[in-house]
Amino acid sequence: MANPFRWCLVSQDCVLQVNVVLVVVGLIILLDVFSHLYLKTVMFPGLRVYPVSLRTWLFWVRFMTMVSYVLNACLGIRMARHPNIFMFAGYMLVGCVVLLYTFSIAVTRFMYPRRFKFYVQMLVNQMWIKDTLGKVEVEFGCCGRTSAADYLKGSTNRTWASGSCCGEHNCPGCTSKLTDYLWTVEMDVARDNIIVSLFLFVALAIVAVHYSRVKFQEDSYDSDDSEETSSMPPAT
């Protein structure tokens, strides 16, 4: 019987190569995960409330997801060299779970935009109360929470950071600046997880097609052997 999957044959080398690509992509995205942690540590240290993309629990979820992503790709590389039904089952199971996590993280970044803006306002208010907004003012070219008027309305005699634009005309507040910037961080997280989801989906499809083909070939060999055995005359 002709192989119904002959139009999409996938070689063993292709399975190996696609998993090598997954390892490379996973390591690159891991660097992005740590860059967001570095941003939180340097720019917004010691705060109680953060937007979701900078929260500790999301860092650990992304970190563990990407580690599982890379380790599963390493399993795929070994499986390409030494095919095994248990490796195949484990690879597909872990791959589907990681795919679910990465896709969920990507999709949720586009949800709750109002809640995101609320958390940014809370972040700016915390920095204002702790009088640590000066670094943000210098880095993003902003002044106070809404404008330089915040320094005039405060009950304490505060002065803005040297190097900020507070003394200039039309100097914007830091809330709007940080809202735009931290939204790009949210989109970076979404982009990273969309990329790894697409690569992983393609890899799972390629591995499934390859091992389906291998199974069909083994079945055809078995049928050929059985036909030859049946055609042999009985021993006398």
- Give domain status of residue 224, yes or no: no
Q: With contact defined as beta carbons under 8 Å apart, do 123 and 47 qualify?
A: yes
Q: What pLDDT was estimated at residue 212?
A: 73
Average pLDDT over residues 89-106: 92
More confident residue, 125 or 161: 125
- Domain total for the chain? 1
pLDDT more than 90, % of the chain: 39
Is 223 exposed, middle or buried (CB count within 10 Å of its CB: 0-12, 13-18, 19+)? exposed
Q: What pLDDT was estimated at residue 82?
A: 82
Round the average pLDDT of the chain to a whole number and report it.
82
- Give domain status of residue 13, yes or no: yes
- Give domain status of residue 1, yes or no: no
Listed in sequence order, the residues at least 6 apart from 201 whose beta carbon sits closer than 8 Å to its beta carbon are 99
- Indicate the DSSP class of residue 148: T
- Give domain status of residue 235, yes or no: no
| pLDDT digit string, tens, across residues 43-59 | 888 888 888 888 999 99
- Give domain status of residue 133, yes or no: yes
| pLDDT digit string, tens, across residues 143-157 | 888 888 888 776 567
- Give domain status of residue 185, yes or no: yes
- Give domain status of residue 230, yes or no: no
The range of the structural domain enclosing residue 83 comes to: 8-215
- Give domain status of residue 84, yes or no: yes
| pLDDT digit string, tens, across residues 197-232 | 999 999 998 888 877 765 433 444 444 444 444 445
